[in-house]
Structures are given as structure tokens and as C-alpha cells.
Structure 1
Amino acid sequence: MKAKTVLPAVAMTAVSMVLTLAVVVMWLGTAVPWPVALVVGLGIDGGWLATLAYERRLAAQGDHSHVVTGVGWCFGLVAAGVLVAHALTSTGSAGAWLAVAWLPIAAKALWLVHGLWERTALTPAALEEIRGIQQEARDEAAVARARLRAEAATEETRLAAVTGAGARVARVQAKTAQTLAGAWSTLEAARAGEETGRALTSVTARVTPGVTPRWELPVWGPVEPVSAPALEGPALSDEALDALVEEIRHSQIPALSYREMASRFRAAGHSASEVRLRAAWKRVA
């Protein structure tokens, strides 16, 4: 990696020095003897090379000198100025010389880039550790994304299952409610029918001789449990049953309903079947 920055700088510096020396010899050779022009050219190149070597030495020690850097840039500007002056005074190929007049400045810029690279360069071990840290971070991010996707898929499946189960329960409840409503509608129609009471009375006539109650089918409502003492009490005659029903019914004003009377009758410890109790109620009422 170091060669990628130092080799272009070395090559451009060498080309710039050769061009500077050639231009000084050709430009000043017509005015002064060529050995003098050669010395001037070598002086410019030598000063540039010396300051460059000193800069490289300081950089190797981790140091930097603004004075040396300024002197080096001065030599580079002098070399570029010589090339520009020669191009402007040349009659045959001014454009070609102007095209290469920027090479000294470019060589200094490349050495600046190489110095910046050296100050930020890392060892292979550090680079390997950095790559390991980056790879670990990428692995953790990938695992986190996979975990989030899996949790989202699981939650979606759970919600779909819950929604499906809820829909099935709702369908079953609706079907049950529809069936129950039909059953109670049929029961209400039978209860309200004129022939229902006569049919039930004819069936139970032998069980309760002399009693012709008006039969009623069950009505939708809360169920009231029968207490234990009501099941254990002695059997009552019809006259005693009628007297108890009358007494309980008129224990409050206004008179109690059949349901309230039946509840108090059994809560008092009396025993009677629902058929006999309802028949006594009808006789009293």
C-alpha cells in the first residue's frame, strides 16, 4: 500500500527535476556558458531534493517542520516558474512546455498525500482487529434482524390462531343462540296454545283427582334452588297447604307473586311438590 503513494511521487519528482534542468540549460545556455546554466539547474534540483529528503527524515521520526516545508514549496514554485517562463518565451512549442509546467507542483502535492497516508496508516494487526470488530457488528445486526423477523412471524401466527379461534367460538355461540331461540319460541307457542292446558290436565287427572289446575309450561328465568329442609319436611294436606299459601301470600301488601311465595314457603321448611304448590296457589288466588 505504501508503494501506491510513494512511487507516483518519486516518478513525478524525477520528471520535474529533469525538465527543470533541461529548461534551465536550454534557456540560460544562450546567455551564459552552459556549465553555469547546468550549475543553476542542479542548484534548483539539489535544493528541492535536499528539502524533500529532510522532510522525509522528519516524517520518519514523527516530527514536522513548517520552515522546511515552506522551503521545499519555494523550490517547487521556482521550478514551475522556470518552466512557465520558458514556455512563455519559447516561440516554437509554448503550448507543450505549458502543459508540463505544473509537474513540480503536482510532485509536491503527491508528497503531501503520501505524508498524510503515513500519519494515518495502521499496522496489519490493527486493520485485522478493525475488520473483526466490523464483522462482529454485522453479525450481531443480522442476528437481531432475524430475531425480529422471527418474533414478528410468531406474533402474526398467534394472532391468526386467536382470531380463527374467536371466529369459531362466535359461530358456535351464534348457532347455539339461534337453536335456543328456536326452542324457546316453540315452547312459548306451546305454552300459549289453547289445547296445551287440556292435554296436560288429561294426562295428570288421575294423579290429582278433583283438581283441574291451569297448566303453564316453564318460563325463561333464573333457577331458584330448593333448600334441604324443604325436602325433609312432613307432607301437608291440601287444606293445610292452602292455609300456608294464603298466609304467606298475604304476609305483605301488596300480595306476593307466586315465585316469591314459593321461595318463602320452602325457606320456611315446608315440603310440597311444585304441582301441589301451584295447585294450592290457584285455589287460593
Structure 2
Amino acid sequence: MNIKATKTVLPAVAMTAVSMVLTLAVVMMWLGTAMPWLVALVVGLGIDGGWLATLAYERRLAAQGDHSNTVTGVGWAFGLVATGVLIAHALTAEANTGAWLAVAWLPVAAKALWMVHGLWERTALTPTALGSIRGIQQEARDEAAVARARLRSEAATEETRLTAVTQAGARVARVQAKTAQTLSEAWSTLEAARKGEGTGSALTSVTAPVTPGVTPRWELPVWGPAEPVTALSLEAAAPGLTDEALDVLVDQIRHSETPALSYREMATRFRAAGHAASEVRLRSAWKRMVA
């Protein structure tokens, strides 16, 4: 029996011994006046012996991993009988009734302690199993701690990233606001200069010695939307070629050397000669001449 088992079995043994002694003593005092003391001793020993025998048999079954409700019931019956004897003696005693009633519960308490010890034995684990359980619990605690640390680290990283993004956005907004303010001030200055009453005369007086006899018209630029100018195509700028003339030119340039030029070389020489034609028309003429 290991040390932990003694924590539950020693109180049960001690209380059982005290209960048996009290039961025997009470039987001797209570029945000794009504019958010979030898008979009273046999009665007391019978109660204690029956209780002890059923307890021993119950402990043997528990050691084998077995259990018997009948044996357990008989053991409780002997415990109740001993308790009943103590209570009856306390109630019929002329003195110290309260003191005897105070110890009348000891047999039932001893039986309950044996039941607690049996429950401990049925649920007790070996040191190996306990070590495995402690290892599993420690591993679970370690994993939980690592998971918490990882989550805190990720949260701190995300917070740092959001802070950096927010600060960068704030800097961009400040730069944009400052730029807009600068442009607004420049526009206000230009607008004030353009609408000023003495702006034209002042500029004319400055340029009059340089351009005598010429009255310039001073107009400052206006800040506003601009309309895009459509660029002239090459064919609109240069005279157009008919399909027949284009075919003749393509054929002449193609056969200007032997072997005949490729399309890329022909197109390069065609445009270098100053001719104008769209890529679609030029390639169509090439296909017609090759065919």
C-alpha cells in the first residue's frame, strides 16, 4: 500500500477500532446488569466480529476487483446495529446521555470511511499514468501559451502595419492639402494680376521701348479645362494614293532588288521615299501583288 492510500485507510481503521471498542464496552455495561458478563461479552464480540468479518470479506473482493451488494448490505447492517446499541444505551443511561449520543455515530462514520477508501481505490491511477496525464496537460498548456504568443505577435504586427498605413495616408493627405493650397494661392495671384486695372498699362510701359509702335495684348493664362486637339493623320497631311498607284509602288519597291524584298524592308523603303499609306492599305497592296 503506497503512502497516498494510507491517507484514506488509516482514518477508517482508527474509527473502526474505536467503534468496536465502544460497542463492546456499551454492551458490557448495558447488558452486564441483566445477564452474566460472559454472555454480554459474547454478544459484544459477536457484533464486532460480524462487522469485522464482513469488512474483511468486502476488502478481499475489492482487492480482486469485484464487488458484492449482499456483503456490503450485511456490513452496513452490523454498523447500524452497533449504532443502535450505542443510541439505546445513551437514551437509557441515567447520566451523560449527551456524551453517549455524541459518539453513537462512530460505527456509521467508520463504514462511510471504508466506502470512501474503496472509491479511492477504484479511481486511483498508477504513477506512470499520472505522469502521462501531467505530460499531456503540460503539453496542452505549452501549446496554448504558444498560440497566445502567436496571436499577440500577429496582432502587434497588424497594429504596426495599420499605424504605418494610417500615418502614410495622413502624410499624403497633408501633402495634397498643402499642394492644393499652393495652387489655390497661385491661381488667386494670377487671377488678381489678370483682372488688375494697371496690369496691362504697366506691362506695356515696360515693353514699349523694346517694341516701338506695337501695342501688345497681355493675357495671362486661364486655369481651366483644356480641349484636346485632334492630330492630323499622315494620309490627311499628305496627298492620298489610289489602290492602283499604291499597288504599282509596292511592286516596284519589292522588285527593286533580287531576290525580292520582304514586306518589312519594302514598307521601310516605302515610307523613307516620302509616300504615305496606312498599314492596312499597305499590307493589302502587298498581299495583292504577292498573290
Q: Do they superpose with TM above 0.5?
A: yes
Whole-angstrom CA distance in 2 between matches of 1:11 and 1:56: 16
- Aligned partner letter, 1:23: V
Whole-angstrom CA distance in 2 between matches of 1:69 and 1:193: 119
2:104 to 101, 111, 114: 101
1:66 to 66, 69, 91: 69
Alignment of 1:196-275 (within 5 A): 196-198=199-201, 212=215, 214-223=217-226, 224=228, 227=231
Per-residue CA distance 1:8-63 (angstroms, 9 max, x = gap): 00110011111111111111111111111111111111100010011111111111
Q: What residue is the counterpart of 1:113 in the other structure?
A: 116
Alignment of 1:84-233 (within 5 A): 84-198=87-201, 212=215, 214-223=217-226, 224=228, 227=231
Per-residue CA distance 1:172-215 (angstroms, 9 max, x = gap): 22221111111111111222234444555677779999865633
The number of residues matched between the two structures is 231
Whole-angstrom CA distance in 2 between matches of 1:96 and 1:199: 129
Kindly tell me: are residues 178 and 141 of structure 1, through their superposed partners in 2, closer, same or farther at Cα, counting changes over 3 Å? Answer: same
Matched, 1:52 2:62: no
Whole-angstrom CA distance in 2 between matches of 1:210 and 1:132: 106
Per-residue CA distance 1:227-260 (angstroms, 9 max, x = gap): 5889xx9xxxxxxxxxxxxxxxxxxxxxxxxxxx
- Deviation at 1:117? 0.8
2:65 partner SS:
coil
- Deviation at 1:93? 2.0
Question: Does 73-82 or 133-142 show the bigger shift?
Answer: 133-142
- Deviation at 1:136? 1.4
Please provide the CA RMSD for this pair: 2.6
Extract unaligned runs of 5+ from structure 1: 234-285
Per-residue CA distance 1:53-88 (angstroms, 9 max, x = gap): 111111111111111111100000111111111111
- Aligned partner letter, 1:85: A
Q: What residue is the counterpart of 1:245 in the other structure?
A: none
- Aligned partner letter, 1:174: A
Q: What residue is the counterpart of 1:39 in the other structure?
A: 42
1:46 partner SS:
helix
- Aligned partner letter, 1:17: M
TM-score (norm 1): 0.73
- Aligned partner letter, 2:162: L
Question: Does 129-138 or 156-165 show the bigger shift?
Answer: 156-165
Question: Does 172-181 or 40-49 show the bigger shift?
Answer: 172-181
Whole-angstrom CA distance in 2 between matches of 1:86 and 1:208: 146
Whole-angstrom CA distance in 2 between matches of 1:74 and 1:225: 117
